[in-house]
Amino acid sequence: MKTGARRVPSGRGLGAGVLAVLALVLAGCGGKPLPVLGQIPPFQLMAQDGQVFEGGALAGKVWVADFIFTNCPGPCPMMSSRMRQVQTATADLPDVRLVSFTVDPAHDTPAALAAYAQHFLAQSGRWFFLTGEQRRLNDLGLNAFHLNAVDGNLDHSTRFALVDRSGRIRGYYVFGDNDFPQRLIADVRRLEREKS
Q: Return the domain boundaries, the chain.
A: 14-193
169 touches 154 (CB < 8 A)? no
For 16-65, the pLDDT digits (tens) are 443 344 444 444 445 789 999 999 999 999 999 999 999 999 999 999 99
Class of the 14-193 domain?
alpha beta
> What CA–CA distance (Å, rounded) separates 13 from 19?
10
Burial bucket for residue 134 (CB in 10 Å: 0-12, 13-18, 19+): middle
Q: Is 86 helix (H, G, I), strand (E, B) or coil?
A: helix
CA nearest to 54, candidates 145, 167, 189, 172: 167
In the prediction, which pLDDT does 196 show?
56
CA nearest to 127, candidates 42, 61, 39: 61
191 touches 62 (CB < 8 A)? yes
Task: Output the pTM of the full model.
Answer: 0.84
CA nearest to 188, candidates 66, 78, 90, 60: 90
Residue 48 burial (CB count, 10 A): 26
Give the chain's residues under pLDDT 50.
Answer: 1-29
Residue 186 burial (CB count, 10 A): 20
Cα 112 from chain centre: 20
